[in-house]
Amino acid sequence: MSSSIHLKQIDHRFTLAKQQVSLFEDLNIELHSGQSYAIVGPSGVGKSSLLLLMAGLEPPVSGEVQFQKSGKPQLLKSLRQISGFIFQQFHLLPELDALNNVALPLKLKGDKRALTTAELWLDKVGLAERMYHKPQQLSGGEQQRVAIARAFVMQPQFIFADEPTGNLDEKTAQHIAQLMFDCCQQSGAGLVLVTHSMELAQQADTLLQLGQGKLTVKARNQATSRVGALC
C-alpha cells in the first residue's frame, strides 16, 4: 500500500526575543513511501522544524499537513503510528540490552513475538553477536545500528532521521548511512533525513535545499525546481 505526506501552503514561524522569525511561507511539497529525501542547508534555517512538520509531530502556524494511503486522506495521528525515528543522540535505555531496546516498541503494543522480531532486525544490522550488550558496552556506530533496528522493527512506512550520522566518525558514518538506505529500500519505507553532509544527502532520491529564502527541490538526475519560500 502506497503512502504519501502532503504539505500544503505551509507557513511556520517562531518568536525569539519578542521578534517573530519566519521559516516557511506558502511551502508545498509531497513525500512518497519508497522514496528517499535529504534536507540540507545552513544552521538555523529550519531543517529540523521542517522534519517535525513532515512527521506530524509539530503543527504549522498555518496550512495543512495531510497523510494519505492509496490516495485517501487519513488522520494525521495515524502517520505517527506508522513512522520510525532515528536521531543524532541514540536515545537507547541504558538499563536494557540491545535486544530489549529494539523489542521495546513491540512489547508496548503487546506483541508476543517482540523478542523474535527484534533478533531478526539486530541480525540484519550486523549485531547478532552483540544483542545482549547494554548501550555503554557498545561503540557509537553499534548504538546507532541498534537505533536503526528499533526504528524499523515496527515495519514503518516512513523513517525520519535527524542528523543520524552527526556523532560518528567518517568511516562509521558512511557504513551507517548505507545501512539506513538499504533498510529503507528493502522494506519499502520512505526516508526523510536532515544532514549537514552533502555526500550523504546526494545518496537520496530527492534533495531538499533550504537557504536564501527558498526551498529548492532537486530530484536525482532531474532539473531543479523551487517550491515555496523562506523568509
Q: Are 182 and 14 in contact (CB under 8 A)?
A: no
Q: Residue 37 carries which DSSP code?
A: E
Residue 230 pLDDT: 38
Q: Report, as an integer, the average pLDDT of 126-143.
A: 96
Residue 225 pLDDT > 50, yes or no?
A: no
CA gap 91, 132 in Å, rounded: 17
Helix/strand/coil for 202 = coil
Give the per-residue pLDDT at 85.
Answer: 94
pLDDT (mean) for 58-68:
92
CA–CA distance, 144 with 201 (Å, rounded to integer): 18
Alpha carbon distance 123, 142 (integer Å): 12
pLDDT at 228 (0 to 100): 46
Q: What is the pTM of this model?
A: 0.88
Please report, rounded to a whole number, the percentage of residues in the chain having pLDDT higher than 90: 62
Domain extent listing, the chain: 90-155
Q: Which of 70-79, 140-149, 220-229 shows the lowest per-residue confidence on average (mean pLDDT)?
A: 220-229
Residues 7-33 have pLDDT tens digits of 999 888 777 777 777 788 888 899 999
pLDDT of residue 16: 74
Task: Give residue 194's pLDDT.
Answer: 95
pLDDT reported for residue 120: 95
Q: What's the rounded mean pLDDT across residues 186-193?
A: 94
Question: 181 vs 231, which has greater pLDDT?
Answer: 181
pLDDT score for 22: 78
10 Å CB burial of residue 191 (0-12, 13-18, 19+) is buried
Q: How many CB atoms lie within 10 A of CB 218?
A: 17
Contact by Cβ (8 Å): 82, 158: yes
Q: 50's torsion region: left (phi>0), alpha (psi -120 to 50) or beta?
A: alpha
Region class of 63: left (phi > 0), else alpha (psi between -120 and 50), else beta:
left
For cell 551507517, what's the residue? Answer: 176
pLDDT at position 226 is 41
Reported as a single tens digit per residue, the pLDDT across 72-114 is 999 998 998 899 999 989 999 999 999 999 999 999 999 999 9
One-letter-per-residue 3-state SS of 107-136:
HHCCCCCHHHHHHHHHHHCCCHHHCCCCHH
pLDDT of residue 227 exceeding 70, the answer is: no
For all residues of the chain together, what is the average pLDDT?
Answer: 89
223: pLDDT strictly greater than 50 = no
83: how many CB neighbours lie within 10 A of its CB? 23
Residue 212 predicted with pLDDT over 70 = no
Name residues whose C-beta falls within 8 Å of residue 87's C-beta, 6 or more positions apart in sequence.
147, 161, 162, 163, 164
